[in-house]
Structure formats: structure tokens, C-alpha cells
Amino acid sequence: MPVQNADVADIFERVANLLEIQDANEFRVRAYRNAARTVSSLARDIADMVENDEDLSELSGIGEDLAGKIEEIVETGILEQLLELEKELPRELNDLMRVDTLGPKKIHALYTELGIENMADLKAAAEEGKIREVKGFGEKTEQKILDRTARLEDAEDQRTPLIEAEQRAAPLMEYLAQSSGVKQLELAGSYRRRKETVGDLDILAACKQDSDIMERFVDFEDVEEVISHGKTKSSVVLRGDLQVDLRVVPRVAFGAALHYFTGSKAHNIAVRKIGVQKGLKINEYGVFKDEERIAGETEEEVFEQVDLLYIEPELREDRGEIEAAREDRLPKLITLDDIRGDLQSHTDETDGRAALEEMADAAEALGYDYLAVTDHSKNVTMAKGMDAGRLGKQIDAIDRFNDGRDGIRILKGCEVDILEDGSLDLPDDILKRLDLTVCSIHYNRNLSRKKQTERVLRAMDNPNFNIFGHPTGRLVAGRPPYEIDLERILEAAKERGCVMELNAHPKRLDLSDLQCKMAMEMGVMLVISTDAHQPDELNFMRCGVEQARRGWLEPENVLNTRSWDEVRKLLKRD
């Protein structure tokens, strides 16, 4: 299996951890962490870049040395430097970094004083009461370690899908809003940036001095553990293991704090660096010049002080938005209002839960001009997929529906399964009768990267192939994508006028933000579709639009911001 970006990032993280435990220069450690972040947030495959002999040192935070190390990892699968470090220190010390309250210094102390090399050693030492005897440790730290090791044992996934975080956040926010003296209350962090998963929730409040919000926060009924509890900052863990931080700031600093706690961390660092160049200090309390606060009530003020246009939260990942804001070339991000229809949905003809009429009513209620019904083809047997005969009948039924109704137009579609050999699951003569096809992979996910890529390229050769549905097959915080060379697929899509789906279902969000950005930059058209299996799910469009915004998409990059007449022309089916 080729080396993935995540593999390179993981190796750099491990190097950084071990160097830190060895008490290496902190800036050197940071360089490895920055490189890990750069590589993991790269849309392209780093292995391809190495193969094409591209200059990796052009990437931010990658110099000559780290470029060479990336090449070594891609070519050999390992990094000699990491092996050397693991000779000096047990490799499993790396795992201990996952235990919070333990950082490099404490891990080093536990290793040298007690010979603790891994999670099992740590747990045993804590149970035997040995930890408290080490200098700098006490009973409380020991108890925390016991709690954390137990929690890590049954914690499967660290990050929470955004949609689930929304459900957990809503009652808490409602509760906090009822605290005394609350002026402003907002969810910041990756939640506000609309990232597909969140690690924790960051809540920001501006309130009167005597507000009871902090007390109420730690007393919330779903709080399972209070990690810290101060006057301006507290952290708790909710049932279901979701950490929530609450920060209280003065109202005049709310904008600066909102910017600060919205992040991302990399974006903040980049903005603060500009501040330093201008002789300004930027922190959560404002923008300061010689101890005097010169801005901070709104985010707009903060950006203004560093000569940047306002940057939407979804863009704040240090992926070029700072430069774009400086040069007045920020994207005019797509909004939900730009959407004029939905091009993937299912009815009870296959695995949907509602009849065509109900789906049409729901789409019309959303103000759409059109809704494509794209039920499954026959190979997807568990969804009661349709053969040519059944699809023919559905086409006739949709024609009758449209004839008898003004307003919304139902488009005749099909989610056609792409078979293992790259052929489509239904004959061309029936596919020709459709307004559009969504072609997707449902089976044989385990092909090699080469075979999987060729399978899709071959399918795209069929003139009846319009939209590549959920192109990587991944599930958010769940199933990984299948192996596929997305760059080649995008090149082919560009050549053949095929459209890439951004599947808006919150469990899919497929393509990812970075993949959307890459497609857009390559000039490939995208479509945001909900894949709704019941009327309610048409509302998932919101999730897709948020993901699209993170991918820098403008209305013109997205097919279904257009009228059906324009869509039809772009699909070239006539």
C-alpha cells in the first residue's frame, strides 16, 4: 500500500513527541509538528508529489531537511531518525502523550524514576500508588492518571461528528443562555468553523461581573466530570465523553476572544505573527499597541488592525485565506440560499421511506426548482435496486407526475452502481431516457488503488455517466475511503465533463473539504446532493453547503446553484 499523507504526519508526530521527551529544542519540535500538520492537511497525495519530483520545500514549514525526510518515508515507508530515537527511548512512550495531564516532562520523569514505558506500566504504577512518590506528582495526579487510562481503554473515537455535537450542544446552550447577566454567548472552535468532526466544544460568553454562568456550567445535569473550574475558564466532560470549555470575557473583548477561540490554531498564529510585525500584541482580550487596547469588540476590528478583510470562520485553517484576505481575493462562498435543487434522492421504490409525491412536496417546501429521484439500480440488492423494467415504469410515472403538476420539476434519475469491471449496472438504452445519472461504487471496495481508479475511469467513458456519487466511500469518523487516485479521477472528470458529488449526508460528507478545494482548483464542477432517503433528510443540504464553504466553493463551482435549463446544458445529455 502506498504511503499516505497521514502516515508521514504520524511519523513526524512521533518524532516530535520523542524529541520533546528528550527535552530537545522546543522550536525544533514545533517544526516537526508544523510539518505533520502541513502534510496531513494537504489535498494531494504527498507520495504522488515525490514521484513527480516536485519541490516539497515549497510547502509551508517544510525546508530542505524535512523535504528529504518526506522523500525517505515515501520511498522506504520508514524514517531512520525515528528508529534511532526509538533505540534511545521506548517507542510506546509515544502512546502516553494521549493521557492528558501527562506531557513530555512528566513522561520523562515517570520513565527515568519508575521505568514506565507504556500504558500498562502506567496503569499498574498508578494502581500501586507509586506515582505519587515521584517528585512533581501527587495524589491528585495519580488519581487523574487512573481515570484517564480507564477512559482511554473504552474510548473508540476521539472526535465527535459535527451533527452529533450540534445535538449535544443545543440543550447546554439553551441552559447557559438562562444564566444571569449574559450579554453574548457563542459556540466557537471547530464547531464554528463547521469542521466535519469536533474534538471538543468551545463556548464563549460575555457577561456581567456577577454572572452565575460559571457555577451553572459546572452544575449542568449532563456534566460527568469537572476538569477545571476557574473564574474565567472551566472545562467539563459531558456524558458521552464530549469535553466542553467555557470562557468568560469582558464585552469589549468579545470579538477578539471569538476570533481567538474560533481558531484554527494555525490561523491564529498566522494572524498574530502579522500583528507582531506591526508592533501589535493580539490575544483573547484584544489588539494592543503599547499596552493600550485599540480593538477587540468585534472580529471585524481585529482583522482590520492587521490589514485583512473579514475571513469567514469556515476558511480559517491557514490554507491560504490570510494571503487571499490581504489581496482582496477571498472567495464569495456559497450559501444555502444559492441552492436551487437536489440531485440525489431516493423513494420507497427502492430503499427510501417516502413516496415520490411526498419527496416532491418536501423539496417544493424548501423552495427548490427541481428534485432528482435517483433510486438504486439492480445490483444493489439490499436496497431493492431496480432493473431496466422497473426503472422504465418509474420514468413513466415521473413524466405523468410532472405533466399533472406545476411548480417543482422531478428529474428522472438513477443511482447506477459501478460494477467491478467499470461497466454500469443498467443498459445504455434505458439510461439514455433519464435526465441524469449518479454513478456510485457500493461493492468491491477492496480493490487495489490501480484497479479501483481504472474501474471508475472506465465507467466515466460511458457518455451516460454524469455525476460520480460519494466519490471516496468514506464515512465521517467511521469507515475510511477506498483506495483511489482522486487526482486522476478529477482530471478525467474535467476532460469528460463529469461532475463530482459532494454528498451532504452528515455521516458521509464525501468529498472532504480539501478534496472539494482541489476539485475546484482543477476546474471540475461539483454538485451538493443530500442522498435523502426521506423528506426530512433533504435538510442535510445545509451540512453539504457548510462543507463546500470549507472547500472554498463559490456558487459558480456548484452545479445545483443553476436552473434546470443550465444544468441540462452542462450535463450534455441532449
Partner DNA sequence: GCCGTTTTCGGCCCGACTGTTTTCAGTCG
Chain residues in the site for DNA (CB under 7 A): 25, 27-28, 30-32, 34-35, 57, 60-67, 99-107, 132, 135-142, 144, 189, 200, 202, 228-235, 243, 245, 265, 268-269, 272-273, 275-277, 281-285
Q: Considering the complex, state which of residue 57 and residue 402 has its C-beta at the smaller distance from DNA.
A: 57
DSSP 8-state symbol, 510 = B
Rounded to a whole number of angstroms, the minimum distance from the CB of residue 421 to DNA is 45
C-alpha to C-alpha distance for 190 and 188, rounded to whole angstroms: 7
Rounded to a whole number of angstroms, the minimum distance from the CB of residue 84 to DNA is 11
CB atoms within 10 A of CB 206: 23
Q: Considering the complex, state which of residue 87 and residue 135 has its C-beta at the smaller distance from DNA.
A: 135
Rounded to a whole number of angstroms, the minimum distance from the CB of residue 299 to DNA is 17
C-alpha to C-alpha distance for 367 and 342, rounded to whole angstroms: 11
Q: Which three cell numbers stand for residue 410?
A: 422531478
Q: Calculate Rg over the CA atoms of the chain.
A: 26
3-state secondary structure of 207: strand
Rounded to a whole number of angstroms, the minimum distance from the CB of residue 197 to DNA is 15
Q: Considering the complex, state which of residue 98 and residue 390 has its C-beta at the smaller distance from DNA.
A: 98
C-alpha to C-alpha distance for 7 and 33, rounded to whole angstroms: 13
Are β-strands 409-417 and 370-376 bridged in parallel, bridged antiparallel, or unpaired? parallel
Residues 6+ apart with CB under 8 A from 390: 349
C-alpha to C-alpha distance for 82 and 286, rounded to whole angstroms: 41
Q: Considering the complex, state which of residue 11 and residue 499 has its C-beta at the smaller distance from DNA.
A: 11
Rounded to a whole number of angstroms, the minimum distance from the CB of residue 235 to DNA is 7
Q: Which of 68, 50, 89, 52 is nearest to 12 (CA)?
A: 68
DSSP 8-state symbol, 353 = S
Q: Considering the complex, state which of residue 130 and residue 542 has its C-beta at the smaller distance from DNA.
A: 130
Residue 411, phi then psi, degrees to nearest 5 = -95, 140
- Is the Cβ–Cβ distance between 438 and 413 less than 8 Å? yes
* Helix pair angle (26-40, 64-76), 10° resolution: 50
Residue corresponding to grid cell 487596547: 293
Q: Considering the complex, state which of residue 32 and residue 303 has its C-beta at the smaller distance from DNA.
A: 32
- Is the Cβ–Cβ distance between 120 and 93 less than 8 Å? no
Rounded to a whole number of angstroms, the minimum distance from the CB of residue 341 to DNA is 39
C-alpha to C-alpha distance for 397 and 346, rounded to whole angstroms: 15
Q: Which three cell numbers stand for residue 41?
A: 492537511
CB atoms within 10 A of CB 114: 18
Rounded to a whole number of angstroms, the minimum distance from the CB of residue 283 to DNA is 4
- Is the Cβ–Cβ distance between 540 and 530 less than 8 Å? yes
Rounded to a whole number of angstroms, the minimum distance from the CB of residue 83 to DNA is 14
Q: Which three cell numbers stand for residue 495?
A: 476532460
Rounded to a whole number of angstroms, the minimum distance from the CB of residue 137 to DNA is 5
Q: Which of 567, 572, 508 is nearest to 543 (CA)?
A: 508
Q: Which three cell numbers stand for residue 2?
A: 502506498
Q: Considering the complex, state which of residue 58 and residue 406 has its C-beta at the smaller distance from DNA.
A: 58
Say which amino acid occupies 153: E
Rounded to a whole number of angstroms, the minimum distance from the CB of residue 106 to DNA is 3
Rounded to a whole number of angstroms, the minimum distance from the CB of residue 101 to DNA is 5
C-alpha to C-alpha distance for 173 and 193, rounded to whole angstroms: 17
Q: Considering the complex, state which of residue 52 and residue 277 has its C-beta at the smaller distance from DNA.
A: 277
For the stretch 126-133, contacts whose Cβ atoms lie closer than 8 Å and that sit 24 or more positions apart, written own/partner, are none
Q: Considering the complex, state which of residue 141 and residue 539 has its C-beta at the smaller distance from DNA.
A: 141
Residues 451, 532, 503, CA angle at the centre, nearest 5°? Answer: 40
Q: Considering the complex, state which of residue 229 and residue 568 has its C-beta at the smaller distance from DNA.
A: 229
Q: Considering the complex, state which of residue 96 and residue 359 has its C-beta at the smaller distance from DNA.
A: 96
Rounded to a whole number of angstroms, the minimum distance from the CB of residue 547 to DNA is 23
Q: Considering the complex, state which of residue 84 and residue 337 has its C-beta at the smaller distance from DNA.
A: 84
Q: Considering the complex, state which of residue 236 and residue 356 has its C-beta at the smaller distance from DNA.
A: 236
Q: Considering the complex, state which of residue 57 and residue 534 has its C-beta at the smaller distance from DNA.
A: 57
Per the DSSP assignment, residues forming a β-bridge with 529 are 503
Rounded to a whole number of angstroms, the minimum distance from the CB of residue 148 to DNA is 9
Rounded to a whole number of angstroms, the minimum distance from the CB of residue 55 to DNA is 11
Residues 6+ apart with CB under 8 A from 295: 255, 256, 286, 287, 301, 302, 304, 305
Helix (H), strand (E) at residue 468:
strand 467-468
